[in-house]
Amino acid sequence: MAHPVGLLYSLSSRIYYQLTRATSFIERLVYEMREASATPAVMERTGALISMIVTFRVLGVACLWLSGYS
């Protein structure tokens, strides 16, 4: 049976990796949307995507913090 600390480290590092990939994808999407016309719908979507980036970054920091205590 795996040690709980090792399992926590493994899980948090995998989650961090997935969050990094998702953040990178969203950043590229926002970059591609820069040439779209500035309609209210586009601005709303851009704001939502930026909020997701911030949320994923905060969760990534939490994952790194958990990894440090493992």
- Rounded to the nearest integer, the mean pLDDT of the chain is 87
Short-list 2, 18, 3, 1, CA closest to 59: 18
**pLDDT at residue 33, as a whole number:** 86
Measured distance CA(16)–CA(11) in Å, rounded: 9
Residue ranges of the chain whose pLDDT lies below 50: none
**pLDDT at residue 70, as a whole number:** 52
Q: Where are the domains of the chain?
A: 13-68
Q: At what angle do helices 4-32 and 40-68 cross, to 10 degrees?
A: 160
pLDDT in tens, 9-22: 788 889 999 999 99
**pLDDT at residue 64, as a whole number:** 86
Q: What's the pTM? A: 0.80
The first and second tokens of residue 14, run together, are 């995998």
What is the chain's length? 70
**pLDDT at residue 11, as a whole number:** 85
Q: Residue 60 in contact with residue 23, Cβ under 8 Å?
A: yes
